[in-house]
Amino acid sequence: MRRDAPLAAVLTPVAFTSYLLSLRVRPGVVNDPRTVLLYIVLLAAIGLLVVVGHRRGLLTPLPITTVLLLLVPWVGFGPRVGPGPRGVEPESLIVFDFLVGVALAGTVVLSLAVVEHLALKHPRVNDALDGETGVGSLSVGVLHAAIVIGFSGLQFRSLEPATVGLAVWVTTGLVFLGAVPIYVALKTGRLAPAGVIGTGVGLVLIAPTGGQLSFGSLYAVCWLLPFVLSLLAADAERRLRRRHANEPSVKA
User: How does DSSP classify residue 85?
Assistant: T
Local structure of 191: helix, strand or coil: coil
Q: Is residue 181 part of a domain?
A: no
Q: Is residue 193 part of a domain?
A: no
Closest by Cα among 151, 112, 119 to 133: 119
Mean per-residue pLDDT, 201-213? 75
**13 near 42, Cβ under 8 Å?**
no
In the structure, what pLDDT confidence band is assigned to residue 42 with cuts at 50, 70 and 90? Answer: very high
Strands annotated E in the chain: none
Residue 214 pLDDT > 60: yes
pTM for this prediction: 0.79
Task: For 66-93, write each residue's pLDDT tens digit.
Answer: 989 998 888 766 777 766 556 778 888 8
In the structure, what pLDDT confidence band is assigned to residue 211 with cuts at 50, 70 and 90? Answer: low
Positive or negative CA dihedral for 14, 16, 20, 23? Answer: positive
Give residue 113's pLDDT.
92
Nearest-angstrom CA–CA distance, 159 and 157: 7
Task: For 125-180, write each residue's pLDDT tens digit.
Answer: 888 888 888 888 999 999 999 888 888 877 776 778 888 888 889 999 999 999 99
Burial (CB count <10 Å: 0-12, 13-18, 19+), residue 62: middle
Domain ranges, residue 222: 215-242
Residues 54 and 143 reside in one and the same domain: yes
Total domain count, the chain: 2
Boundary-marking domain end, from 163, 181, 206: 163
Give residue 12's pLDDT.
95
Which of 33-37, 79-83, 117-121, 133-137 comes out lowest in average pLDDT? 79-83
Residue 59 pLDDT > 80: yes
Q: Is residue 169 part of a domain?
A: no
What residues have CB less than 8 Å from 181, skipping those under 6 apart? 193, 194, 196, 197, 230
Instruction: Give residue 210's region: left, alpha or beta (phi > 0; psi -120 to 50).
Output: beta
Mean per-residue pLDDT, 246-250? 59
What residues have CB less than 8 Å from 130, skipping those under 6 apart? 183, 187
In the structure, what pLDDT confidence band is assigned to residue 252 with cuts at 50, 70 and 90? Answer: very low
Instruction: State the chain's mean pLDDT as an integer.
Output: 85
Q: Is residue 104 part of a domain?
A: yes
Residues 51 and 135 reside in one and the same domain: yes
In the structure, what pLDDT confidence band is assigned to residue 107 with cuts at 50, 70 and 90? Answer: very high
Give residue 1's pLDDT.
47
Give residue 17's pLDDT.
94
Boundary-marking domain end, from 139, 163, 187: 163
